[in-house]
Amino acid sequence: MVEKFNPAEHDLKESLIALNRVSKTVKGGRIARFAALMVIGDGKGRVGYGLGKAAEVPEAIRKGIEDAKKNMITVSLADTTIPHEVTGEFGSGRVLLKPAPTGTGIIAGGSVRKVLEAAGIKNIRAKCLRSSNPINVVKATFVGLSELRTAEEVAALRGLSVEDVKA
């Protein structure tokens, strides 16, 4: 049985990726509101993102954190990097993630960098292709990270040994 992740039991780091001021025009004028894109992670392979919308900035951030706790995923890590190259795609956003040797650091743009730092990845190269919209870039990064599989996971799925999978 898979154990359910309880965000309250872990030390989660929060990061604000984008704060967007939006306005709605009504009969009496304009109503200004805020949308906050948040990322949280424990630095050990668990990461989540959320979008919160409210009339005040702190309330939008709080809602974004609550939404991020509901959208947590577990990332397959190979030491301090990812096990293989992957491209994540969401809407018009596309993100290329490549493993890197120890000492490289995180070579990535702003939105992708914050997601990878929250996940606990230390050595990686990333490139945003097509869209630079922070929401689509973050979602594309999450699609790519959720597609990662270690050799052990693939071997278990196929019923083979790890050596057979790597060959």
- Sequence spans of domains, the chain: 7-73, 75-157
The pLDDT, as a whole number, for residue 157 is 82
Please determine, for residue 10, whether its predicted confidence score (pLDDT) is greater than 70.
Answer: no
Stated pTM of the model: 0.87
Q: How far is CA 167 from CA 94, 133, 151, 155, 158, in A?
A: 30, 39, 11, 11, 14
The listed CATH number (3.40.630.10, 3.30.160.20, 3.30.9.10, 3.10.100.10) that belongs to domain 7-73 = 3.30.160.20
The pLDDT assigned to 78 comes to: 85
User: Tokens 């990061």 sit at which residue?
Assistant: 15
- Percent share of the chain, pLDDT over 70: 93
Segments in 22-146 forming alpha helices (H): 57-70, 110-119, 134-146
Rounded-to-integer distance, Cα 96 and Cα 88, Å: 7
Torsional class of 106: left (φ above 0), alpha (ψ -120 to 50), beta (otherwise): beta
Taking only the tens place, the pLDDT of each residue in 19-34 is: 999 999 999 899 999 9
| CATH class of residue range 75-157 | alpha beta
